[in-house]
């Protein structure tokens, strides 16, 4: 009590507003004076703050030059102060205290509880966001008496270690906020499991939700994208003092962080100064196979396949009925043939390109060679698999050994990891998996090959005749296109073929009505997207010429940039700038195409019907959750600016006529760009009509607009902006074309207050679910209670 009264008395006498980086006894920070500490390099600030949407007061550390979501550490996250009466002080023995100075100042809301007494203490905010307590004037390289980096909240910053300090006993973990407005500890934590071969985990309560896989000397084996990140370098150490992971950044001017979100998503983000937004670089869990133990023991999870789970070679489903009928593979797989340890006939099957099984119960020997590891496993009857433990030497070394079921294995598409899993199998199962074909099979194969060769020869002859007949026509078309004054580079066919790996399927990004689209990389390093006209398309040449002529004359930040075209060898190709984040529909609907195992173009109609309403009501919402409200709103504004340019500001007035989420591309900073002008129509000076599409109306009429927004983005949205977007959407589909705003007014409305906009009237095409109107005004599609119609519009 005496100490608290003394601190409050000191606060009254010595309260001050400071821009210093240190706190000393007798010179506290008080909330009402808006005092703060600023690190010597000006990167971080410490003081009192309230989260957006909350009046509670906390002591925290935040980025000085970041305007959005900048808090990186909070002291009293479990016990906020209800008013601006807080005091942060440093006691004479080096303990930090947060107390309430509002009259009854006996309440301590937080204490650093240091066990090391400091004779002449000082608290200092460092330029890595670490608040340290040490001896004044002492060696700054010695371990401090207390530091905030030993008690992280939900943010992981460069240089900040996660994991175990085996000397002090500290287990440094991230703990998510309860919600976007409440920094109290939530149910998700990120940390390092040190049992077995150490690896990172995200836990939901006490249950594992995601794991990184073991460290292989270069990166965590289940997150191979880290190896490809030139900006970020992951570090990991296991020794007598600690089991810890951290990362560093090659460019000190780049602001990077990892955030454990309230929903358990771990996101790596970089700050984009130009747009004042956080750009999501990577995230986990990334797909259904990232869910811990998705397929049970001895099975591999394939994220892009159906069925999702498949047994390892030499294994079969433990309960086939669960796999085939119920679709529940969680009980995993069992061996087809028992191991034969006594006679020493067992061998190993090499399973490549996978996240290694859970290593919590595995053993590791980093000095053993891989060959010694194999021999040891064969001699040990309980050994089920082995793998190398270290790739940092440029080859496999060290030894990891599993003695139980192999759990949580994920197939890594496109991974070139040289760290395969060697699975122990009975000799009979290994022969089945790799044996040469029997003579009868070879004879059957010979017959099939012979018949196929004859058929291929026949079709080659027919194709040559057809090709010869069409060659002259194609050459004339080539000359017509080349004679157009397009002011665009003409790319050589060989250059494009080399850039796309000869149009390799691994480089295929998708396919639309025009034809397939491939990712490529020119010799000078520029990444491109190549749209290749389908040779069977009857309308392709006209659409090709139309798109080239249209896009060649367009320049806008929200339109995809056409780099050139190729009209050689009968090919019609457009070369665009490559958009790193693909199309908007993959964030909203990509899960549906994967689930149904059909091409994206086949679900466009479904996507149009369900749109944003269905996008977040799905079992795999991870990618959709990246689109928080701020990002969605910026995308809406960007699309509106692009359309305004097309309608009013470009050299030619253009109506796109095929605008949909698959034709909205997102660059590395999630900026939207309108693409695919093959269906675009050029209009004269006074022509402004085209087609418009759907809306639903009942939720607005019944004052239930909040139901349109899913709770996954509720924490990030501005409700006034949401109302504005809904109003503008309804105003654009009024029954009378003259009642609908033109594009320049639409953009103005989107950045206006919703209360200033006129109230929309009921659209002329609203119908109920039991009404089917087949008149010439449009085509009605109805699913459950959702009705959609396509009309001619303004």
Q: How far apart are CA 726 and CA 732, in angstroms?
A: 10
Place of tokens 């066919």: 493
Which residues touch 330 (CB under 8 Å, ≥6 apart)?
293, 294, 295, 296, 322
Distance between CA 126 and CA 140 in Å, rounded?
A: 11
> Cis peptide leading into 285, omega within 30 of 0?
yes
Please check whether residue 276 is in contact with residue 296, taking contact to mean a CB–CB distance below 8 angstroms.
no
Distance of alpha carbon 709 from alpha carbon 50, whole angstroms: 25
Provide long-range contacts, Cβ within 8 A and 24+ apart, for 508-517.
Answer: 509/582, 510/583, 510/600, 510/662, 511/599, 511/600, 511/601, 512/601, 512/662, 512/676, 513/537, 513/601, 513/678, 514/540, 514/543, 514/544, 514/676, 514/678, 515/540
Cα of 32 vs its chain's centroid, Å = 40
Radius of gyration of the chain (CA): 31
**Which residues, 6+ apart, have CB-to-CB distance to 78 below 8 Å?**
110, 184, 185
**C-alpha–C-alpha distance, residues 58 and 338, integer Å:** 61
Residue in this structure with the two tokens 């002259």, named with its chain if needed: 472
Other C-beta atoms closer than 10 Å to the C-beta of 506 total 10
Which residue among the candidates 658, 667, 669, 739 is catalytic per the annotation?
A: 658
Structural contact between residues 184 and 78, judged by C-beta atoms closer than 8 angstroms: yes
Residue 341 makes CB contacts below 8 A (sequence gap 6+) with 381
Cβ atoms of 418 and 396 closer than 8 Å: yes
Scanning the structure block, which residue is given the tokens 């309308």? 539
**Tokens in use for 513?**
């009505």
Q: Are 307 and 288 in contact (CB under 8 A)?
A: no
Let me know if 371 is exposed, middle or buried by CB neighbors in 10 A (0-12, 13-18, 19+).
Answer: exposed
Cα 88 from chain centroid?
38
Q: Kindly give the pairing relationship between strand 277-284 and strand 399-402.
A: unpaired
429 given a catalytic annotation: no
CA angle 379/380/384 to nearest 5° reads: 115
* Run of H or E residues at 466: helix 439-483
CA distances from 311 to 69, 135, 212, 318, 607 (A): 44, 59, 21, 10, 33
Round to whole Å and give the CA distance between 1 and 98: 14
**Do 84 and 57 contact (CB within 8 A), yes or no?**
yes
DSSP state of 24: B
Write the CB contacts of 13 (distance below 8 Å, at least 6 apart in sequence).
none
- Residues facing residue 674 across a β-bridge: 559, 664
Cα torsion through 474, 479, 483, 487, rounded to 10: 70
Question: What CA–CA distance (Å, rounded) separates 387 from 646?
Answer: 57
- Number of Cβ within a 10 Å radius of residue 126: 20
- The residues carrying an active-site annotation are 658
């Amino acid at each position: 009590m005496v100490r608290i009264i003394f601190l409050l008395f000191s606060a009254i006498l010595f309260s001050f507003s400071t821009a210093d980086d240190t706190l000393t006894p007798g010179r506290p920070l008080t909330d009402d004076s808006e005092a703060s500490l600023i690190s010597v390099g000006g990167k971080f600030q410490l003081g009192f703050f309230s989260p957006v949407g909350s009046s509670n007061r906390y002591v925290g550390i935040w980025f000085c030059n970041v305007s959005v979501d900048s808090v990186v550490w909070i002291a009293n996250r479990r016990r906020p102060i209800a008013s601006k009466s807080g005091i942060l002080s440093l006691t004479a023995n080096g303990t930090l205290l947060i107390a309430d100075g509002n009259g009854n100042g006996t309440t301590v809301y937080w204490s650093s509880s240091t066990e090391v007494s400091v004779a002449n203490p000082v608290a200092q905010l460092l330029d890595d966001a670490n608040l340290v307590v040490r001896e004044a004037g002492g060696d700054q390289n010695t371990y401090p008496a207390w530091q905030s980096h030993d008690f992280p909240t939900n943010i992981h910053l460069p240089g900040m270690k996660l994991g175990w300090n085996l000397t002090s006993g500290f287990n440094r973990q991230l703990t998510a906020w309860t919600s976007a407005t409440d920094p109290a500890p939530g149910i998700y934590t990120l940390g390092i499991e040190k049992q077995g071969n150490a690896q990172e985990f995200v836990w939901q309560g006490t249950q594992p939700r995601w794991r990184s896989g073991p460290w292989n000397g270069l990166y965590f084996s289940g997150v191979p994208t880290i190896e490809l990140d030139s900006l970020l370098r992951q570090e990991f150490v296991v020794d007598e003092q600690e089991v810890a992971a951290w990362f560093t950044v090659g460019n000190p001017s780049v602001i990077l962080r990892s955030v454990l979100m309230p929903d358990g998503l771990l996101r790596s983000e970089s700050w984009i100064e130009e747009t004042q937004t956080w750009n999501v670089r990577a995230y986990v869990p990334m797909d259904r196979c990232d869910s811990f133990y998705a397929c049970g023991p001895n099975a591999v999870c394939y994220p892009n396949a159906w069925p999702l789970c498949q047994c390892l070679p030499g294994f079969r489903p433990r309960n086939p009925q669960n796999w085939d009928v119920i679709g529940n593979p969680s009980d995993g797989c069992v061996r087809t043939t028992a191991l034969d340890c006594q006679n020493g006939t067992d061998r190993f099957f090499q399973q490549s390109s996978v996240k290694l099984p859970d290593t919590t119960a595995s053993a590791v020997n980093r000095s053993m060679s891989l060959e010694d590891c194999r021999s040891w496993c064969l001699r040990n009857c309980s050994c089920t698999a082995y793998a190398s433990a270290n790739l940092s030497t440029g080859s496999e070394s060290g030894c990891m050994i599993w003695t139980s079921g192999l759990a949580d294995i994920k197939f890594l598409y496109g991974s070139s990891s040289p760290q395969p899993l060697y699975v122990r199998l009975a000799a009979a199962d290994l022969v089945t998996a790799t044996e040469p074909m029997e003579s009868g099979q070879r004879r059957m194969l010979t017959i099939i090959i012979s018949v196929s060769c004859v058929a291929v020869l026949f079709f080659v002859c027919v194709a040559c005749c057809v090709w010869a007949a069409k060659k002259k026509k194609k050459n004339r078309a080539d000359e017509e296109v080349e004679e157009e004054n397009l002011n665009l580079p003409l790319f050589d066919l060989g250059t494009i073929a080399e850039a796309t790996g000869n149009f390799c399927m691994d480089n295929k990004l998708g396919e639309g009505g025009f034809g397939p689209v491939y990712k490529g990389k020119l010799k000078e390093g520029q990444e491109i997207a190549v749209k290749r006209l389908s040779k069977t398309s009857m309308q392709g040449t006209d659409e090709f010429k139309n798109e080239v002529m249209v896009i060649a004359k367009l320049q806008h930040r929200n339109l995809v940039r056409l780099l050139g075209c190729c009209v050689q060898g009968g090919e019609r190709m457009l070369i665009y700038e490559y958009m790193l984040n693909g199309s908007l529909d993959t964030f909203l609907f990509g899960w549906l195409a994967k689930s149904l195992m059909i091409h994206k173009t086949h679900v466009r109609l479904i996507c149009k019907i369900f749109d944003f309403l269905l996008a977040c009501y799905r079992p795999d919402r991870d990618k959709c959750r990246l689109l928080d409200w701020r990002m969605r709103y910026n995308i809406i504004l960007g699309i509106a600016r692009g359309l305004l340019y097309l309608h009013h500001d470009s050299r030619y007035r253009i109506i796109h006529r095929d605008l949909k989420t698959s034709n909205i591309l997102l660059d590395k900073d999630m900026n939207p760009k309108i693409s695919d002008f093959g269906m675009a129509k050029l209009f004269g000076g006074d022509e402004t009509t085209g087609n418009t599409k759907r809306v639903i109306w009942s939720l607005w009429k019944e004052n239930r607009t909040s139901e349109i927004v899913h709770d996954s983005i509720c924490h990030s949205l501005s409700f006034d902006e949401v109302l504005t977007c809904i109003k503008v959407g309804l105003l654009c589909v009024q029954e009378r074309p003259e009642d609908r705003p033109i594009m320049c007014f639409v953009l103005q409305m989107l950045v206006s207050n919703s209360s200033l906009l006129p109230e929309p009237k009921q659209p002329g095409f609203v119908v109920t679910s039991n009404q089917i109107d087949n008149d010439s005004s449009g085509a009605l599609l109805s699913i459950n209670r959702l009705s959609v119609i396509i009309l001619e519009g303004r």
